[in-house]
Chains A and B, each alone.
Chain A
Amino acid sequence: MAADTVKSKAEPDYVVIDSGKTSLRDLYTKEDWMAVWMGFVLLIVGLLIYLPNPPEKAAEIPKYNTVMKEEAAKAPFKTIEWHNASSSKRGVRARDQEFGKTIQAFLAAPSDWSSNPLDAVYRSKEAADALSAPFKEAADKAKAAEDTALAAAKAAQSAAAAASFKDPALNSTAEKAIKGWQEAKEKASKAKGKASVKPFNRVPYLIGLCILLAVFFGIGKAIMGNSFGKFVVGFPAVFLLAVLAYMAETQALMKYWGFGFPLWAIVFGLLISNTVGTPKWIMPAVCTEYFIKTGLVLLGAEILFNKILAIGKPGIFLAWICTPITLVLTYWVGQKIIKMPSKTLNITISADMSVCGVSAAIATAAACKAKKEELTLAIGLSMVFTAICMVAQPAFAKLVNMPEVLAGAWMGATIDSTGAVAAAGAFLGQKALYVAATIKMIQNVLIGVVAFCVAVYWCAKVECKPGVSVSWWEIWYRFPKFVVGFIVASIVFSIIDQSVGKDMSSVMIDHGVLRGFTRIAREWFFALAFTCIGLETNFKEFGPYFKGGKPITLYVFGQSFQLAFTLVIGYIMFYIVFPEITAAI
């Protein structure tokens, strides 16, 4: 371990440093490998559930594409028929089938609530009706406005068509009328959602999920030689805290601030461990690494490399050129100028700040074997700065009248949290929202590469004595093995994603296996992992990391550089080099 690393006396390392020897037994006795097998089992189950069962509407997709192609050739703007075809295509989702809905209901986290926490897990029919009632009138009005806007759009389009789409003034009028209809349709859709609140009772599902997860992970523990019984006894307490963390996230006021379940899971865990102490009977189920690595293997399947082409070359430049430059520069400044107390803390904060917040922090911290306090600190910093940036950046963009595409691209590449990016984009408008969310999605995919590179760099360089060359075998011994599962999952799912084609990939992989099953499971595993981090952490361990405010200095430097650098590159890419893409969006 590097001499300048902050060492904890009371706590073990967050991630185990592997033995210099390896054997076949490691495949079923080490948590790294067990996480890989557990993750693979779930991914295979997900594929077996969804791939053989495409929705019937999937057969209509070529028809929708033909309509869009014909309409695109006919008019110089997106016609009503073009929009309807695109919308119908997006509505085809494997997870919307009955079996998909059942799986999602079983795995669902607690719902939104405002003053009574029980509302998060149980809503009677009367309560659902009461929640819907105030919005019914607004929904009817929004629907009427949509119908009016559609009639106006049809009239304007007919006028433009009558002139064979050769009159620029009529075309412009039609385009504006269609845009107005799209906005009215969006509002009507959201209003309808609010006016159709459904009753639910999540308690039986949560109990069932707790039992299922206890048995699933308990079997893994038993194979590794630990007690199944002790794990199963302690697990419900960890699960309960994870449920409470979700409930804190979904509280009406907290969801506006962007404080998600990872932060709350750590807070609730810390509250227990630093007051009454974590009871002994819970400790066999406090398995941070086990949960987090299994979750990361599942996350690997969500790293689909085809996504990086979603917005063409400008997106690649912004998310895959600017971001790594910011990451490397921030780490270098952290080491050479700020002199961070720990290399692992430095890289975790650098990745978290430059890539995509919590998810990047988790993957990087696990890859470089950071301590749990370091991961916690990085996540805390990220959430505080995210809360600031998600309000300040769109306000600034509005103040300077920044074009929506540029603002969306800028915010998508610089605000840490993926969800906050969408909120910031929505602050400015629909186009900014979709560009911001898409850029963030491309940037999300980068965490696979970052985690792999950090793992290799740490094994080959950081953990070595200066001047001593390391053999490939040594690197393999030290390499965090779950990263192998993480990368394999990413490659396999990227290949499947590519082989089924863009449209079917969206229907079967993105809106099927991932969003309909493994994504929800992954989120639960992370919630359990963060709860465990809190349960085995002492407040005092954070003290040395705050010395001199270095983590904050590092974060502020990196974020400031990224804000300026990305804005300049975004402008060059979207308005000078590829203006035709900006115009098409």
Chain B
Amino acid sequence: MIVKETCTLPAAGGDLAPPAALNPWLRLLVGIALILFFIFGIGSLAQYIPGARHMAQVIEERHLRATAIYYTDFEEPAEGSERIRDSLDYTPDGKP
């Protein structure tokens, strides 16, 4: 017999936060600043990394969704598989 374990949500209202060395709101602001720095600062480094710049151009030109997590999340798998299916189902075989 398996022992029943129930899932209880942790106490909220700040209980999840570690003991405050800094004011919690100040830490939130620092966190937001770090995220913004990551997005606009670190993120822009792509143009200085060999290959990454070209990759960014490819993503932009083709309007690809590089963040998709499943094949239904963007068009290319459907388009690619349909093209390949037509190529395999209707393979040109008119002999020269």
Contacts and interface: CB of A to CB of B under 8 A. Distances in A.
Contacts of A357: 69
A382 B87 CA distance: 33
Given A271-B32, A359-B69, A20 B64 contact: no
Nearest to A19: B4
Contacts of A435: 80, 84
Given A257-B46, A438-B80, A12 B7 contact: yes
Interface residues of B, number: 74
A253 B28 contact: no
A307 B84 CA distance: 12
A71 interface: yes
B81 A539 contact: no
Interface in A34-88: 65, 68-69, 71-79, 82, 86
B96 A539 contact: no
A420 B63 CA distance: 12
Given A190-B62, A251-B43, A418-B70, A17 B2 contact: yes
B54 A427 contact: yes
A224 to B, nearest CB: 13
A418 B2 contact: no
Contacts of B27: 274-276
Interface in B16-68: 16-18, 24-25, 27-28, 31-32, 35, 39-40, 43-44, 46, 49-52, 54-56, 58-68
A397 B94 CA distance: 33
B81 A441 contact: yes
A538 B94 contact: no
A76 B66 contact: no
Interface string A438-455: 101100100000000000
Nearest to A386: B66
Nearest to A18: B2
B18 A278 contact: no
Contact of B76 (A282, A437, A477): A437
Interface string A375-402: 0000000000000001110110000000
Interface in A533-579: 535-540
A276 B14 contact: yes
A359 B18 CA distance: 31
A386 to B, nearest CB: 9
Given A12-B7, A13-B5, A257-B43, A165 B96 contact: yes
Interface in A222-267: 248-249, 251, 253-262, 267
Contact of B64 (A65, A282, A422): A422
Interface string A481-502: 0000000000000000000001
A72 B91 contact: yes
Contact of B68 (A251, A289, A419): A419
Interface in A117-176: 165-168, 171
A11 interface: yes
Contacts of A171: 96
B71 to A, nearest CB: 4
Contacts of B76: 422, 425-426, 433-434, 437
B55 A391 contact: yes
A293 interface: no
A427 B2 CA distance: 52
A140 to B, nearest CB: 17
A248 B35 CA distance: 10
Contacts of B96: 76, 165-168, 171
B9, B54, B56, B72: residue with the most chain A Cβ atoms closer than 10 Å: B72
A436 B28 CA distance: 41
B70 A73 contact: no
B11 to A, nearest CB: 8
A10 interface: yes
B87 A584 contact: yes
B38 to A, nearest CB: 9
Given A417-B69, A438-B77, A506-B82, A72 B92 contact: yes
A422 to B, nearest CB: 4
B46 to A, nearest CB: 5
A103 interface: no
A536 B86 contact: no
A276, A282, A311: residue with the most chain B Cβ atoms closer than 10 Å: A276
A276 B85 contact: no
Contact of B86 (A86, A286, A511): A86
Contacts of A251: 39, 43
B91 to A, nearest CB: 5
A109 to B, nearest CB: 11
A519 interface: yes
B58 A310 contact: no
A436 B71 CA distance: 11
A478 B77 CA distance: 36
A74 B69 CA distance: 41
Contacts of B46: 253, 256-257
A253 B77 contact: no
B67 A259 contact: yes
A558 B49 CA distance: 26
B13 to A, nearest CB: 4
Contact of A69 (B10, B55, B90): B90
Given A77-B92, A255-B65, 5 more contacts: A18-B2, A256-B46, A262-B69, A435-B84, A515-B78
What 4 A-B pairs come out closest when comparing CB atoms?
A: A277-B14, A434-B80, A419-B68, A260-B67
20 contacts: A68-B86, A69-B90, A72-B90, A72-B93, A86-B86, A167-B96, A190-B63, A248-B35, A258-B66, A260-B67, A275-B17, A277-B16, A286-B9, A359-B69, A418-B73, A422-B64, A425-B76, A510-B78, A515-B78, A526-B69
